[in-house]
């Protein structure tokens, strides 16, 4: 009886030990599986974070590029206005008109600058101006168009722009010095000009012409 009891007790302990070891082994494998799954999920999460960060960076760069593209004409216009507001020139010298127009051409990066009378006759032109007769004819034609647009009490245009097939822009700014109507024409290889681009230069042109008339 005692031996049988001892054998039964030993068998029970063995079974308990075997069950415990089996449970430990299954728990170990379960933990390893969970650890592997966690590593996979962590790697997937890290990859998703990288993709999200890259997408945000790309969207940020695209947004910055779009904003810069939208603001570029405004920035260029402000830069041109600043340059043309700082023209140098003596007063009362007709030859100084050419120097003044040369400055306008240089600072505005214009291919030609022409100052003409109401009939289109040139008063002065920048040194880099070519085909003066054609540009004078253009000035006369644009003044004629402005006159027709201002008929019947309609507001007369102060500036006209022509964009040609060569992607050049001709800007004609109409203004008055005393009782004389004049036009200041600039030809640019850029399509970013605005109708008021030449306005800052008018103050100096007006001063030179008025001083010249006073001297005369």
What pTM, to 2 d.p., does this model score?
Answer: 0.63
Which one, of 168, 167, 150, lies nearest residue 158 by Cα? Answer: 150
Domain boundaries, the chain: 1-84, 89-215
- 66: number of Cβ within 10 Å: 10
pLDDT tens digit at each of 216 positions of the chain: 655 555 555 555 555 565 555 555 666 666 667 777 777 777 777 877 777 777 777 777 776 766 666 555 565 667 777 778 778 765 555 557 888 899 999 988 899 999 998 877 888 999 998 888 888 888 889 988 998 888 878 888 999 998 888 888 999 999 988 888 899 999 987 766 788 888 888 888 888 887 765 555
Q: Which overall architecture, per CATH, does domain 89-215 show?
A: 2-Layer Sandwich (3.30)
**pLDDT score of 15:** 55
- 188: number of Cβ within 10 Å: 22
Q: How many Cα neighbours within 13 Å face the side chain of 77? A: 13
C-alpha span between 68 and 65 (Å, rounded): 5
**pLDDT score of 23:** 58
């Amino acid at each position: 009886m005692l031996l049988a009891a001892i054998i039964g007790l030993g068998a029970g302990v063995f079974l308990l030990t075997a069950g415990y070891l089996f449970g430990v082994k299954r728990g170990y494998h379960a933990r390893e599986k969970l650890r592997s799954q966690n590593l996979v999920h962590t790697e997937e999460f890290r990859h998703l974070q990288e993709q999200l960060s890259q997408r945000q960076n790309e969207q940020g760069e695209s947004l910055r590029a779009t904003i810069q593209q939208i603001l570029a004409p405004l920035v260029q216009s402000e830069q041109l206005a600043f340059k043309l507001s700082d023209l140098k020139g003596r007063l009362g010298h007709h030859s100084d008109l050419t120097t003044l127009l040369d400055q306008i051409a240089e600072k505005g990066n214009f291919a030609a600058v022409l100052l003409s009378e109401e009939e289109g006759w040139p008063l002065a032109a920048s040194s880099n101006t070519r085909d003066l007769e054609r540009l004078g004819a253009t000035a006369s034609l644009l003044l004629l168009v402005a006159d027709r647009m201002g008929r019947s009490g309609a507001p007369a245009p102060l500036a006209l722009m022509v964009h040609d097939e060569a992607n050049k822009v001709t800007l004609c700014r109409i203004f008055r010095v005393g009782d004389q109507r004049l036009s200041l024409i600039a030809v640019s290889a850029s399509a970013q000009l605005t109708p008021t681009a030449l306005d800052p230069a008018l103050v100096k042109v007006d001063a030179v012409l008025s001083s010249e008339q006073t001297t005369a």
